[in-house]
Amino acid sequence: MTHDPGDELYTPTVFARQPLFDRSEQVWGYELFYRDSPEAERAVMDDANLATLTVAANAFALPGKDALRPDTRVVLTFTERAVLDEVPMALPAQSSVIKLNEPAELRPELLDALDRLRREGYAIMLDGFSAHPSYRDLYRLADFVTIDALGADGFDLKRLISGAEQHRAEVVAKRVEDRSRYEMLTSLGVSLYQGFFFQKPVVVPGRKLTSNEASRLGLFRLLAYEEPDFNELASLIQTDVSISYRLLAYLNSAAFSFPQKVHSIKQAIVILGWNKVRNWLRIIMLTDLLPAGKSSELPYLSAIRGKFLERAAQGGVHPGVDPSGLFLLGLFSLLDAMLDLPMREITGEMPLENGLKEGLCGGESPYASWLDLAKCFENGNWERLDTVMQELRLDPLVAARCYYDSLLWANSFFGFRGEH
């Protein structure tokens, strides 16, 4: 039996990633969540530290040169023991933020270890910030402190933010679930945000689909055919200069490394094949729908969801769903947040079967649990994830690998994750 080195990449971890946003609602960095194995009943210290480094290595090794921009941070949580053992020093200092829970007891050796990390260029994030006066020596070493936006009342939020300001630490608000809470925290001076507020639409009364949006959604009808006319499709693509340019640039990138340059749209379609071209066009059109001022994280996350759900379902028998339908489920799942419109109004313009529409709209559907699956991976909700995978009869290790592969796949479409 041959040994596949790739097995070591996936077996130790189940992981997730969640963006952190700055006050302009642009992605500042990503927090990576992990657990040591899908079957573990408890975390083992050494395995947990190894899992953290494995997940971090995967994040920093995304395909393409400088896949993570130099100004994009990666936040990872380490145990106190790991910090004392200098485990975080295996990571690149300029990109890494070392997150540590505020300890129950403050020990001098921990302060010394954190001081060494800071001198090496690492940023320190303190989770569970209490603003307790006896911890001032710890707080002076923290570049960032986190507060729970959902669990604290207004008085407590102001107290914690004031305490952070005294120690010149930037405040990260986590579990920011709606726009009103985000705006309140912004007014209090919070710097960074984490949560699903950016996925929630701000529905403007009377807002309707514009003619351009309706036209773009209508184009999805042309991508429904299983066997297209390549000549007709090439002619259609050639009428859009932007799409033509991006398709040729994509095929002539390092992601494919073809021995000869691709020079024509028809040649590009034939080389890629209809299924790949179709999915590529869906993502391009989805990205083009994004209004000015909306985070580019939305189409990126949509692409990850679509590919992850499609891959997770392949090879299994799941009544009422098919992998291609699951791709569309994930891809379209954030259209309401992108367009600031109710999902039912949007799906009314799209050629989707009823079960898929209900899944997107939150109704009863065989697709509902699949969308829940993607969300569990995104926010590191491992307890709920186990339940959903059992319902869908998915192998945890296979699902973890599918999620990781979907990250790599989505990176090939988005230039801000690395030039290809």
Q: 0.75 exceeded by the pTM? A: no
Strand partners, 331: none
pLDDT at 373 over 90: yes
> What is the mean predicted confidence (pLDDT) over 73-79?
88
Closest by CA position to 306, among listed 220, 215, 247, 241: 220
Per-residue model confidence as pLDDT tens digits over 393-405: 998 888 888 888 8
pLDDT at 233 over 60: yes
- Segment 71-87 shows an average pLDDT of 86
Question: 3-class secondary structure for the chain?
Answer: CCCCCCHHHHCCCEEEEEEEECCCCCEEEEEEEEECCCCCCCCCHHHHHHHHHHHHHHHHCCCCECCCCCCCEEEEECCHHHHHCCHHHHCCCCCEEEEEECCCCCCHHHHHHHHHHHHCCCEEEEECCCCCHHHHHHHCCCCEEEEECCCCCHHHHHHHHHHHHHCCCEEEEECCCCHHHHHHHHHCCCCEECCCHHHCCCCCCCCCCCHHHHHHHHHHHHHCCCCCCHHHHHHHHHCCHHHHHHHHHHHCCCCCCCCCCCCCHHHHHHHHCHHHHHHHHHHHHHHHCCCCCCCCHHHHHHHHHHHHHHHHHCCCCCCCCCHHHHHHHHHHCCHHHHHCCCHHHHHCCCCCCHHHHHHHHCCCCCCHHHHHHHHHHHHCCHHHHHHHHHHHCCCHHHHHHHHHHHHHHHHCCCHHHCEC
Domains of the chain plus CATH, in order, are 7-199 (3.20.20.450), 211-417 (1.10.3210.10)
Of the listed ranges 28-37, 69-78, 114-123, 384-393, the least confidently predicted one is: 28-37
Residue 371 has a pLDDT of 93
Is pLDDT at 119 greater than 90 in this prediction? Answer: yes
Number of other CB atoms surrounding residue 235 within 10 Å: 12
pLDDT given at position 59: 57
Most confident of 68-72, 234-238, 349-353: 349-353
Greatest mean pLDDT among 45-59, 146-160, 270-284 lies in 146-160
pLDDT digits (tens, 9 = 90+) for 293-338: 777 788 889 989 999 999 999 877 787 788 888 998 999 999 888 8
Express each pLDDT in 234-282 by its tens digit: 776 776 677 777 777 777 766 666 677 777 777 777 777 777 777 888 8
